[in-house]
Structure 1
Amino acid sequence: MQQENAPYPFVIVGDIQVVPTATKTSLNGNVLITIDIWGDKKQRFTVSDMAERFFRAAIGQVLTDDYRFYGRVEDQSKEFTQDQSVPDTVLNRATLILNLNIL
């Protein structure tokens, strides 16, 4: 991310996958959303805190103007890593995969 000169921390909403199951009157199924949170070597706690907030927001009922979703805690995942792919740079990264049931 160094080439883009983005200030840390930042969030990237990555892949979004919809696994539909439809009835005659409604769209059901699941939505899987990948979220990456990046921070510099001093922002491990900040990255962890941001990931925890996204994780908790995806548990229980999530309402939008047009849809209702429900996230179960056992369907969510989060991973914390240190990325050293850029020479002389340590980045903290959290990756979340949020799995929401379409109601």
Structure 2
Amino acid sequence: MVKIRKSPEQEIFDYFYAFSLKNRYRTYDYLPPEEDKVPYPFVYIGNVQGISGGTKTSLNGSVVINIDVWGSRKQRLTVSEMVERFFREAIGHVNSKNYLFYGNMQDQDKQLRVDTSVPHTILMRGMLTLRLQIM
């Protein structure tokens, strides 16, 4: 039986999930339902996309991951600082167990916005779209 290593997408998901936990953030791989009463702020490590590239003998391309940071309306500074940590972590060389990734600053996107999607609630939402090249 051939042993298959993790995909680049799963590897980068695990990398940022571990990074979030290392920073002692409440971290989820799903958006907790409102009835769970999860305290703010928290991090949602979300969608991951692999963009193919490569040759017959090498795996290239890139991986895009979406990360959301949610906080109360009074936690704007905290949410902003958390977003900035993820943003900076995605710039330059990112080494995982099986892959080497590289993030260019101009390929990263971050937003901070007011979110009113939960009824009768105003939240701060930091959104990151991080693109890393597979080296």
TM-score by length of 1: 0.94
Q: Aligned residues: percent identity?
A: 52
Question: Comparing both structures, which one devotes a greater share of its residues to strand?
Answer: 1
Q: Once the 2 structures are TM-superposed, how far is the Cα of residue 25 of structure 1 from its aligned partner?
A: 1.9
How many angstroms apart in 2 are the aligned matches of 1:2 and 1:43?
A: 18
Which contiguous aligned blocks of 4+ residues in structure 1 show a shift greater than 2 angstroms?
1-4, 85-88
Q: Once the 2 structures are TM-superposed, how far is the Cα of residue 46 of structure 1 from its aligned partner?
A: 0.5
How many angstroms apart in 2 are the aligned matches of 1:25 and 1:71?
A: 23
Structure 2 residue ranges without an equivalent (≥5):
1-32
SS at match of 2:74: coil
Q: Tell me whether 1:49 sits opposite 2:86 in the alignment.
A: no
Question: Comparing both structures, which one devotes a greater share of its residues to helix?
Answer: 2
Q: Once the 2 structures are TM-superposed, how far is the Cα of residue 63 of structure 1 from its aligned partner?
A: 0.2
Correspondence 1:20-35 to 2 at 5 A: 20-35=52-67
* Partner of residue 46 from structure 2, selected from 14, 22, 28: 14
Aligned Cα root-mean-square deviation (Å):
1.1
Structure 1 residue ranges without an equivalent (≥5):
none
* Partner of residue 67 from structure 1, selected from 99, 103, 120: 99
TM-score by length of 2: 0.73
